[in-house]
């Protein structure tokens, strides 16, 4: 038995599908019939959203969506509970759904070069995560739960809207830091740093302390 996808036939038992750089703007619903699929690469297309029906791909372990035009993810992304690696670099994401916390087997999450201003509280449930990349976003605040996975983070000054942080920001996390911090929210209590290239004499709010990851 076969499935028609973009005018081509694929075995319904197929486990790997690569559709990179195909000018795809809408994902064919027929992909959801490949229920044994474990690897799906849709990088370098023009996708702006994903269909809810993709939650049927419950055996999926690797999902690559780099360099598309995604502005959001469906809540059903949380049904892909066997995912180990999710790549979403270079999209236009402003939010991540709470359901991301259901991906308890996720080990690698790539969110570089998006427009994220915050992260869901559920992100702290990803206890098997080895790496979370967040460079070049517009984060104004971090959820408290992210402290559960702080050692997995790859987050730099470019990840934050550093001069326009939320007044409610109580902590920041940096994988490395090579510039002086100023104009920080007065309520900031902690700055976690894995590596600081030199003593930068940060201008910290009263009571704020720097801790090592």
Q: What is the 3-state secondary structure (H, E, C) of the chain?
A: CEEEECCEEEECCCCEEECCCCCCCCCCHHHHHCCCCCEEECCCCCCCCCCHHHHHCCCCCEEECCCCCCCCCCHHHHHCCCCCEEECCCCCCCCCCHHHHHCCCCCEEECCCCCCCCCCHHHHHCCCCCEEECCCCCECCCCHHHHHHHHHEECCHHHECCCCCCCCCCEEEECCECCCCCCCCCCCCEEEECCECCCCCCCCCCCCEEEEC
Q: pLDDT of the chain along its 213 residues, tens only? A: 899 999 899 999 999 999 999 999 999 889 999 999 999 999 999 999 998 877 789 999 999 999 999 999 999 999 999 999 999 999 999 999 999 999 999 999 999 999 999 999 999 999 999 999 999 999 999 999 999 999 999 999 999 999 999 999 999 999 999 889 989 999 999 999 998 877 788 899 999 999 999
Domain boundaries, the chain: 12-161, 164-213
CATH superfamily for domain 12-161: Ribonuclease Inhibitor (3.80.10.10)
The predicted model scores a pTM of 0.94
Q: What is the pLDDT of residues 102-141, one digit of tens each?
A: 999 999 999 999 999 999 999 999 999 999 999 999 999 9
Q: What is the pLDDT of residues 41-62, one digit of tens each?
A: 999 999 999 988 777 899 999 9
């Amino acid at each position: 038995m076969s499935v028609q996808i973009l005018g081509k036939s694929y075995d319904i038992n197929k486990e790997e599908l690569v559709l990179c750089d195909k000018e795809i703007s809408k994902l064919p619903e027929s992909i959801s019939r490949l229920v044994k699929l474990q690897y799906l690469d849709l990088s370098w297309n023009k996708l702006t959203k994903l269909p809810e029906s993709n939650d049927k791909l419950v055996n999926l372990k690797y999902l690559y969506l780099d360099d598309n035009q995604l502005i959001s993810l469906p809540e059903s992304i949380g049904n892909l509970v066997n995912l180990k690696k999710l790549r979403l670099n270079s999209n236009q994401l402003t939010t991540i759904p709470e359901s991301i916390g259901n991906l308890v087997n996720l080990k690698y999450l790539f969110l570089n070069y998006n427009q994220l201003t915050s992260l869901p509280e559920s992100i702290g449930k990803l206890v098997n995560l080895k790496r979370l990349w967040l460079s070049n976003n517009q984060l104004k605040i971090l959820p408290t739960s992210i402290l559960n996975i702080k050692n997995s983070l790859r987050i730099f000054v470019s990840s934050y809207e550093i001069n326009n942080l939320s007044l409610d920001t109580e902590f920041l996390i940096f994988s490395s830091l090579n510039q002086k911090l100023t104009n920080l929210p007065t309520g900031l209590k902690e700055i976690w740093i894995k590596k600081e290239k030199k003593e930068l004499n940060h201008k910290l709010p009263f009571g704020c302390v720097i801790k090592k990851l």
